[in-house]
Structures are given as C-alpha cells and as structure tokens.
Amino acid sequence: MLLNELTIVEAADGLRKKKFSSVELTEACLKRIHERNETLNAFITVADESALLEAKRADKQIQKGVAVHALTGVPFSVKDAICVKDIRSTGAAKILDSYLPPYDATVIEKIRLLGGIMIGKTNCDTFGHGASNENSMYGPVKNPHDETKVAGGSSGGSAASVADHMAVYSIAEDTGGSIRWPASACGIVGFRPSYGRNSRYGIMPMASSLDVVGPMAKTVADIALLMETMAGHDPKDATTVPDAVPAYTKKLKNKPATARLKIGIPKEYLELEGLNKEVKAVSETVITRLKEAGATIIPLSLPHTKYAIPVYYILVPSEDSSNLARLDGIRYGVRADESALYDLYAASRAKGFPDEVKRRIMIGTYALSAGYYDAYYRKAARVRTRIIRDFEEAFREVDAILAPTSPFPAFGLGEKKDDVLAMYLADIFVSPAAVAGIPALSVPVGKTKAGLPVGMQVIGKRLGEEIVLSIGSLLEGICK
C-alpha cells in the first residue's frame, strides 16, 4: 500500500512507530497531486513548499515525542471557501483570485496547532453554490471513479482529493449537502455536524443560518477523530454551542448493541419517483442487512420534507445575497476598469462572479425586498420550523434515520449544467437535514454495476453526533 493511501489512524500509527516520516508521507501525497491534478482538477492551489516545511517541523515533534497527536504530520486538503493563513483562498471565485487570508479559520487553526499538514486548497462550486462543481470559475472537477462524471458538489475537489489519495482527509463546508453528496459520489465518508457544533469563523459565508464545517475522510473512525479536534465553542462564532465536546473516538469503540437500535426509514426518500433503481436496490440491501444484524427497522413519514428544497432555495439565496454584498473587486481579484465607484463595483462583480452566484443574488435580493419578505423569507422560515418538528417527532421513536444520500450516482459532466432546476433537485435528500440543522453522515455502502459509488446517510437528532457516528461505523462494517 502506498503511503498516501493510508487512513489517518493508519498514518498516525506508522508515524509514531517511525515506519516512515511526515516528509515521506507528504511527498507521497504531493506526488499523487502532481500526477493526477491536471486530469481531475481537484486543487486550485497546491502548497508544496509550506507543506514540506510543516512536515519537517512535524517530524521533529514526532522525533522528540512531545505533544504528538494523531493528526500530527498527516496531510490534509481544505475547501477553497475556507480561509488558510497566507495561502491563496479564492472560494473558486475570480473576485477573490488573489486573496491571501491574514488568518486561519478556527477549525483549520485547531488542526494546524496539532501539527496537521495543509497540503492545498480544493476546487468547489464558487462559494459553494452548486451540486456538481461545474459552477467553479476554475473548471469542473472530474470523478476519480469515472472521469466523464462529476465529482458532486459543491465540495467536489475535497471529495476527489481524498478518494484519489491526494490528501489523507479534507475539511469542507456543507450548507445544503456539499459535504455529503460529493462524498457519496466519490465513495468516501462525509459528515455534516449539527449547526453550531463547529465554528464557522473563517469560512466564506454562504447562508449563515445553514453553513456548517465538517470533515471528509476514508473511514468513520477518521471522521470521529477529526470531529473531536474541530468541534467546540468559539468566542469568534456566537452560534457555536457551549456544550462540551464528547469523546467521539472513545464512544465509537463502545458500539451500541445493534439489537437495541431503532432505525427509521422515511418513505419520502425510498419511495421517491425518479429514484435511480440501482441506488434503491443498494439501499434496500443495506436495510435488510441491518435488520439481519438485529436492528429494528421502523418505517416513518416526514410529511414536510418535500418542502425542504423550496425552503432551502428561498433562505439560501436570501442569505447569500446579503453575505456577498461585501465583495466589491477593490482589493483581491478581478477589478474592472471603471473610474466611477459604483460602476467599478458593478462591473467588477459582473466579471468576478459566475452565473449561478448572480442568479442567487438576484433571487435573494428579490425575496428580501420590501413587500416580498413576508411572502418569501418569513414564510420559508416558518416552513423550516415544520421540517424541524417532523424530525423531532421522528427522533422520539427512532435513534436515527437512514436514507440514500442522493437519488442517483454521479451524473455525467455537462448533463445537468444548463438545467438549473434539475441541479437544485439533486439536493433533494441532503437539504432536509441541512434546513433542520441536524447531523448527517454519508457512508459509502455499495456500487452500481458501472462501478460508481453509492452512499447512504445516517441522520440524527440535534447534537446527536455520537449515535450518528456509531451507526455509520456499523454500516461501514456490514457493507464491507
């Protein structure tokens, strides 16, 4: 096995036992990036030099045996919409083409303080707006399992970087599925924690009431390890919860008795018209295996879940339009050649944003405008509460909900690009948990005949990360 193919747990073990060094591990990842990035387009910026310097430092730390953590010396990638100090962070937007953040996002700072090696910034749909990575101003990402297919979005670069072993894990952002869907499309594990569990400080905001930062990795054990490091209250993000961070890794080892587990299967997902047959078949096999393992399977209904997409596509563009108002083209990226200030802003924004970003600014500005706010934003916020209540009700009866991550496996590049509605509908299974602010984990559970990965989501109650991770790990075991 090549070094870059290791999981975090395996890499940490090898580093601690001095089987290899962090420099060797980092070089293996960089080599893979240089072999593959031209084809896959997973990275916008590769941080060769600083990564190797950090690796040398980590090796010294490991040599001395002081303050060594499982993440020390292990290379990771970061979605380009997350700030990394002094490393170009564009959010895949030309308007920030030359932006060098003067600080690390809190989650990144935490990982780097432990000696994590930041290897590069990954491609994504601009500011996270998309489901196929085709809305990136730096070109689409290709799926490592089939280069004619999308890697999913918006964190397609992060997913491809891990699935193709260019990085051991990745840190990304999920507003409405951007971690889980690309994880599913590329056959890796992706976790959206509860809203407020991880700090959003240093994330380029998309929709502030939904944005969540989370990990993407090869195993659930790696995800638990990362969550333990990333989670917690941050004085710089007032929405972070003050609750103590559970020992996720330890909890994962003490598996709950499968015989006592109650898993809810909402009919709104598996009975969806248009659900791909192979995805349905794989999902049903997983449910059967869970039953055989002793879990109780409980069919249920989430009656308002069908409104998640319409609610999402009112709330998100509204918040998007407000958050994006700060970008003016003055300092960091494309700047139009205009002398009057307003013209300069308008022309720079016209050049620096792709169509999808402009579409959201227009929809959002409209939905928030006087006279329409009550009809759209407020109404959507109310329906959002109904969606939350549906879940709360369900969790009175079940420990977790299981559903496919996506109604289809990775689709062809270009296939939905010009069909905005079809692209929005790709989020049909991932948007409900996002709108509700609850944790959801996508785990690879099988493949189609053509070899494309299929993922399933474990959805849990608010701040119920532990049970979600435990069931994820159970799924991982039964789907091997």
- Which residues are catalytically annotated? 79, 154, 178
> Is residue 237 packed enough to be buried (19+ CB in 10 Å), middle (13-18) or exposed (0-12)?
middle
Q: Which of 323, 324, 307 is nearest to 381 (CA)?
A: 307
Which residue's CB is nearer to ligand GLN, number 136 or number 178? Answer: 178
Among the listed residues 42, 131, 227, 334, the single contact to ligand GLN using CB under 6 A? 131
d(CA 124, CA 42): 8
What gap in Å lies between CA 31 and CA 5, rounded to an integer?
Answer: 12
Q: How far is the CB of 263 from ligand GLN (least distance, A)?
A: 25
Using the rule CB under 6 A, give the single segment among 32-40, 128-136, 333-341, 450-458 that binds ligand GLN. 128-136
Considering the complex, state which of residue 166 and residue 314 has its C-beta at the smaller distance from ligand GLN.
Answer: 314
Kindly report the backbone phi and psi dihedral angles of residue 394, in degrees, each rounded to the nearest multiple of 5, phi listed first. -60, -40
The correct pick among 68, 168, 316, 458 for binding ligand GLN (CB under 6 A) is 316
Applying the rule CB under 6 A, the residues between 136 and 195 that interact with ligand GLN are 154, 173-178
Please, which residues have CB within 8 angstroms of residue 256's CB and are 6 or more apart in sequence?
A: 399, 467, 470
- Decide: is 440 part of the binding site for ligand GLN (CB under 6 A): no
Say whether residue 3 binds ligand GLN (CB under 6 A): no
427 binds ligand GLN (CB under 6 A): yes
Decide: is 319 part of the binding site for ligand GLN (CB under 6 A): no
Rounded least distance, CB 62 to ligand GLN, Å: 35
What are 298's strand-pairing partners?
264
CB of 178 to ligand GLN, least distance (A): 3
- For residue 45, give the H/E element and its range: strand 43-46
**Contact status: 128 vs ligand GLN (CB under 6 A):** yes
CA-nearest of 184, 198, 186 to 157 is 186
Distance CA 122, CA 169 (A): 12
Q: Between 10 and 427, name the residue whose CB sits nearer to ligand GLN.
A: 427
Nearest distance, CB of residue 293 and ligand GLN, angstroms: 32
User: Within 202-231, which residues bind ligand GLN (CB under 6 A)?
Assistant: 206
Q: 299 or 412: whose CB is closer to ligand GLN?
A: 412
Minimum CB distance to ligand GLN smaller for 290 or for 316: 316
The least distance separating ligand GLN from the CB of residue 176, rounded to whole angstroms, comes to 4
**Strand-pair partners of 471:** none
What is the number of other CB atoms lying within 10 angstroms of the CB of residue 372?
14
Closer to ligand GLN by Cβ: residue 14 or 439: 439
Detail the DSSP E strand segments found in 47-94. 75-79
Count of residues of this chain found to bind ligand GLN when the rule CB under 6 A is applied: 14
∠ CA 59-168-440, rounded to 5°: 135
CB atoms within 10 A of CB 407: 18
Q: Kindly list the residues in this chain that would bind ligand GLN in the complex (CB under 6 A).
A: 128-131, 154, 173-178, 206, 316, 427
